[in-house]
A and B are shown apart, each in its own frame.
Chain A
Amino acid sequence: MEFVGQLQRQLVQFSHSLFVEGFLDEQFQQLQKLQDESNPDFVLEVVSLFFEDSEKLLNNLSIALQQQIVDFKLVDSYVHQFKGSSSSIGAQRVKNMCVHLRSFCEEKNLERCLMCLQQVKHEYYVVKNKLETLLRLERQIVEAGGTVPFIA
């Protein structure tokens, strides 16, 4: 059971750091609160949907910004969607970067949009990695017979 204890400590520390460093905000905690024995995979399901959705949106954004004549309205609608879903999941840094990207869209500043899109992508892949780590730790704890500590 010492192994479980170790994993649990690791999870608490890791989770804490995600919030302190602003990768996740309280919306993610809201989602965690919605998970229970009747819906033990709720967070995993939402996060998986977010990943699927995000890959599509990032792809669409890249394509839209590569056109000869860029349709900034279309780009903006994709960013709006991405901002929405990242906000719903609590991916704070991604959301904030989307806000910047939107303002460059409004200015129709292609160069800035392209640069900012790279930053959005970066933030997304970082939080994706962190969420996968978090969920993996939780899974390991459960598989080792422990319970996942809820971090307030």
Chain B
Amino acid sequence: MAQEFHVLAVDDSFVDRKVIERLLKVSSCKVTAVESAGRALQVLGLDEERSPVEFDELKVNLIITDYSMPEMTGYDLLKRIKGSKKLSEIPVVIMSSEDIQPRVNRCLEEGAEEYLVKPVKLSDVVRLRDFILTQKAHPPQMEHNSVKRKWRDESPNAGCSASTSCDHLRPPIPKRRKMVQL
């Protein structure tokens, strides 16, 4: 890869944070892992209580966050990021152990790129990274926010190499949930 792909991972669980960090590193991503949405806002420079000069703001290519966190949920974090002029372009992915359709819809409507059902696998991370890199290289037409572009859920089986491109992907059982009219 020409430049480092930097991911900010947010999860209050020690175990999950360790796993997602490793998944990302194995996928050749640079990782910053934090334990709360509040901390994430700080490192992104969105924390109103601190002046921007106190932190070297991180430049990130992707934010991947757990949904259920105490104090501030991943959904609230998503809203803050999408509501910020500075950071709204950064893709945000939600992770959750709960596969609840209304929750999925809400996240996608708010601008989440993807809703991953935990436990997150290596194939999810590689697919994610490749998709976002492809998007950067060939930006899509700007679409209205409420109509999320559905990313074709195709990925090779676990153990795929880091050089995977989207073209030869075989469809697996989709983890991603589509928006559904209730």
B119 on the A face (CB < 8 A)? yes
Residues on B with C-beta less than 8 A from A39 are 22
In whole angstroms, how far apart are the Cα atoms of A96 and B26 in the complex? 29
A14 on the B face (CB < 8 A)? no
- Would you give the shortest CB distance from A66 to chain B, in whole angstroms? 22
User: For chain B residues 1-19, which have a beta carbon within 8 Å of chain A?
Assistant: 13-16, 18-19
A24-59 vs B, Cβ < 8 Å mask (1 yes, 0 no): 000100110110000100100110011011000000
A83 on the B face (CB < 8 A)? yes
Is B13's CB under 8 angstroms from A53's CB?
Answer: yes
Is A49's CB under 8 angstroms from B121's CB?
Answer: no
B92 on the A face (CB < 8 A)? no
A140 on the B face (CB < 8 A)? no
Is B22's CB under 8 angstroms from A42's CB?
Answer: yes
B51-73 vs A, Cβ < 8 Å mask (1 yes, 0 no): 00000000000000000100000
In whole angstroms, how far apart are the Cα atoms of A31 and B22 in the complex? 9
Is B97's CB under 8 angstroms from A83's CB?
Answer: yes
Contact of A31 among B13, B19, B118 (CB under 8 A): B19
Is B122's CB under 8 angstroms from A88's CB?
Answer: no
The chain B residue with its CB closest to the CB of A46 is B18
Residues on B with C-beta less than 8 A from A30 are 119, 121-122, 158
A141 on the B face (CB < 8 A)? no
Number of residues in A with C-beta < 8 Å to the partner? 22
- Would you give the shortest CB distance from B56 to chain A, in whole angstroms? 27
Is A34's CB under 8 angstroms from B23's CB?
Answer: yes
Is A88's CB under 8 angstroms from B16's CB?
Answer: yes
Please list the residues of chain B having a beta carbon within 8 angstroms of any beta carbon in chain A.
13-16, 18-19, 22-23, 26, 68, 97, 118-119, 121-122, 158-159
Can you name 14 extra interface pairs (CB under 8 A) apart from A34-B19, A34-B26? A34-B23, A46-B15, A46-B18, A49-B14, A53-B15, A81-B13, A84-B16, A85-B15, A88-B13, A88-B16, A88-B19, A88-B118, A88-B119, A90-B119
28 contacts between A and B (CB under 8 A): A27-B119, A30-B119, A30-B121, A30-B122, A31-B19, A33-B158, A33-B159, A34-B19, A34-B23, A34-B122, A46-B15, A49-B14, A49-B15, A49-B18, A52-B14, A80-B68, A81-B13, A84-B15, A84-B16, A84-B97, A84-B118, A85-B16, A87-B97, A87-B119, A88-B13, A88-B19, A88-B118, A89-B15
